[in-house]
A = this chain, B = another copy of it.
Amino acid sequence: MRAAPTQEDIRRQNLGALLRRVHVHGPVTRAQLTAGMGLNRSTIGALTADLTEAGLILEEQPRDPAAGRGRPSLVVKVRSQRVYVLAFGVGVDRLVAARVGLGGVILDRREIERPGGQFSIDETVDRLAEFAARLGEAAAPEARCVGAAAAVPAVVARDGGELRYGPNIGWNAEPFGARLSAAAGRHVVIGNDGDLGALGEHTRGAAAGYDDVVYIHGDVGIGGGIIAGGRRLTGADGFAAEIGHMMVNPNGRECPCGSYGCWETEIGERALLRAARRGGPLGRESVHAAVDAAARGDKDAEEGLRTVGDWLGVGVANLVNLLNPRIVVFGGTLRMVYPATAAQVRSRINSTALATHREHLRLRTALLADDAPLHGAAELAFAGLFDNPIETSSA
């Protein structure tokens, strides 16, 4: 019921929608764009001409045109090197930065791990800014950075600037977005790693094509993201999907959040290594070693994984009853834990989730592996480009 959009608004929206479609789905023919976008052929032709001139796409003859069926439809592809974003991933013991090209391809990356350790906020800002500088230097002279975003294991304010609460990294109420932006010399939006993992897997991972998704991210803590009806479930303040702090065990241990019996205290890295009676630092290597030991028949590791798998199933069943997702995706270290505990998880879901809710449910590991939040950060960073492709890429 608002005032009608201008011709220029409509053109900008159509340019963004077309570019985003090719960015997400890969090469498509003009005929597919015409059918999929509900626009006529001449409009599609005008849009692809504009995007080609801006250097964002290219059009090619199809490799195997159907013989004798008239003029073949041109294939539209992104030019992945022409514009890029910077995506950052902050883990408890791992920092990663990547240059991600149009089409979602990781063109270059830098990372540092410190198993069992942590990074202070000062060090994180410095390292990521240094990575960003190196990634920029390595880009082709004509390549243009059109956005930047960071995934953090913390509650983040809706405006994507303030990190409100991150018990596992020990940062609270930090203007991390502003600090990283200042150090990197360009605006960096921040987002919760679970939310961005969900966005990554929903855009180009295991959850592509599904409208109702729960993504569960395992690190030292347990994060998550929820897609409901095709859209991110944000909650009133942008804080939704703190699934690691769902209480599942009223007799459980204290959680870094101050409560106890949180899901995170039963299925996070600390819980797994404790249940499997294993020493060593926290981190992916230790989780991998525990899963590996169980596979080789180590009784303590087997028993530990059974316990963790049981609690993993309890929490998934709760999320299934509450949210009725079509797919649950396990990311981060849960990519190793879920396959090793699938029997327990399935058994718990069968006993605890309602039959109606589990009938069409799929459980999958993240296709983007540990990079699901990084890919989500890239999508967040690309958003401005799709709002206004020509100006954003030439400004």
Residues of A within 8 A of B (CB): 1-3, 13-14, 17, 37-39, 155, 164-165, 210-212, 226, 228-229, 231, 233-243, 245-251, 257-259, 314, 317-319, 321-326, 351-352, 354-357, 359-360
Contact = CB atoms under 8 A, between A and B. Distances in A.
Contacts of A359: 237
A326 B39 CA distance: 40
Nearest to A310: B250
A236 B211 contact: yes
Contacts of A259: 317, 351-352
Nearest to A245: B321
A356 B314 contact: no
Contacts of A39: 1
A113 to B, nearest CB: 28
Per assembly, the copies of the chain total 2
A352 B260 CA distance: 8
Contact of A352 (B2, B17, B247, B352): B247
A236 B360 contact: yes
B257 A155 contact: no
Residues of A contacting B: mostly: loop
A155 to B, nearest CB: 5
Given A228-B233, A259-B351, A155 B238 contact: no
A389 to B, nearest CB: 15
B235 A228 contact: yes
Given A239-B357, A246-B318, 13 more contacts: A1-B14, A226-B322, A229-B231, A229-B234, A235-B357, A237-B356, A239-B356, A240-B322, A240-B324, A242-B322, A242-B357, A248-B248, A250-B314
Contact of A235 (B2, B14, B155, B323): B323
Interchain residue pairs A-B with the least CB separation, the first 6: A235-B324, A236-B326, A212-B236, A240-B324, A239-B324, A242-B321
Given A17-B1, A351-B259, A352-B259, A324 B236 contact: yes
Nearest to A234: B229
A155 B243 contact: no
Nearest to A17: B1
Contact of A229 (B37, B233, B351, B356): B233
A132 to B, nearest CB: 28
Contact of A228 (B164, B210, B228, B238): B228
Given A248-B250, A322-B322, A233 B236 contact: no
Contacts of A356: 155, 164-165, 237, 239
B242 A354 contact: yes
